[in-house]
Amino acid sequence: MSAIEIRNINKSYPGFELKDLNLDLPEGTIMGLVGENGAGKSTTMKLLLGMIRPDSGSINVLGETDLRARPQIKEEIGVVMEDVSFPTVLKIHEIGRIMAGIYRNWDADEFARMVKVLRIPEDKKFFEMSRGNRMKTGFACALAHHPRLLLLDEATSGLDPVVRDELLDILMDFTKDETHSILMSSHIVSDLEKACDYVCFLHDGRVLLVEEKDRIRELYGKLQVTPEQFKELDPAAVIGRRTTPYGTEVIVRKDRIPAWDTQPVDIEELFVFMVKGERQ
């Protein structure tokens, strides 16, 4: 069963278009959305939350198709956006009390536990907190109402590696329950590489690739070739290439060139090569 089903979604703004987006997030898994600025990651998140309406297509989140009309399903969705926006003069325990008045499932003990685990300062007002602590506050709020689905939009951006690592551990812990799922977008591909089961590449409002993370290593490889060797390659196997003074680096589909010995490729390299390949 899928926690999220997106079918043929189109949404256009002046200067931007999300085209025929199709996506499935199986329950119990973490999917990473990778894309440049303006690729459509935040638009996808907003569409999922009903914050904006699609021009066409359908969206199903935890069995609900219209989140704006029936936002009650958001009781089961935890969200952390790039900016966590609480009134700045509030302290963490006041934020907790506000949330308790908004979420029926709010668990004050779980919130207090998260505040302790994440070491969020209890004596500071929100505007006095560092970006890291603000994001941690967002995570504590997103998790304290026991959601089944987490939507994270650049939620780890701008955080130091130690904080990011702590948060990723919490996320992986969250998906130990097989009914829990996460869709997270990030520029930091190493985070997605660490946490995700699936990756989705978005470029210019289109899906370039949706694949299981482990399958990416099976399917794609990297080659260092001379210009002559490059000409011998099946063009259909070439995902992208980069020419340096020392030769040409090529990302290929391994199944199309079985005779060649390839090196493993990571998600970031594959994404960069695919995007550049698109541009060429």
Partner 1 sequence: MKGLFYKDILMLTRSFKAYLLMALFFIVLGTIRPNNSFWAIYGSFFFVTLISSLMAIDEQSRWLSYCDIMPLRRRDIINERYLLTLILTAVLNVLFLILSMIFRSADRATVLVSSGMMLALSMLASAISLPINVKFGTAKGQMVRMAVIIVMVGCGMFIINYAGEIIEKLLQVKAPVLLAGAAAAIILVFGLSWLLSIRIYEKKNL
Grouping H, G, I as helix, E, B as strand and the rest as coil, residue 158 is: coil
Comparison of 72 and 280: residue with beta carbon closer to partner 1: 72
Grouping H, G, I as helix, E, B as strand and the rest as coil, residue 156 is: coil
Report, in Å, the least distance between residue 173 CB and partner 1: 22
Residue 138 DSSP one-character state: H
Comparison of 67 and 275: residue with beta carbon closer to partner 1: 67
Report, in Å, the least distance between residue 91 CB and partner 1: 10
- Residues lying near partner 1 in the complex (CB under 8 A) are found at 49-52, 68, 71-75, 77, 79, 81, 83-90, 94, 97-104
Report, in Å, the least distance between residue 7 CB and partner 1: 23
CB burial string 198-223: b at 16+ within 10 A, e below: bbbbbbbbbbbbbbbbeebeebbbbb
Report, in Å, the least distance between residue 235 CB and partner 1: 44
Comparison of 99 and 237: residue with beta carbon closer to partner 1: 99
Comparison of 74 and 164: residue with beta carbon closer to partner 1: 74
Report, in Å, the least distance between residue 266 CB and partner 1: 32
Dist CA 50 CA 46 (whole Å): 6
Residue 110 structure tokens:
């779980």
Comparison of 37 and 72: residue with beta carbon closer to partner 1: 72
Residues 144 and 111 sit within 8 Å (Cβ to Cβ): yes
Dist CA 215 CA 30 (whole Å): 15
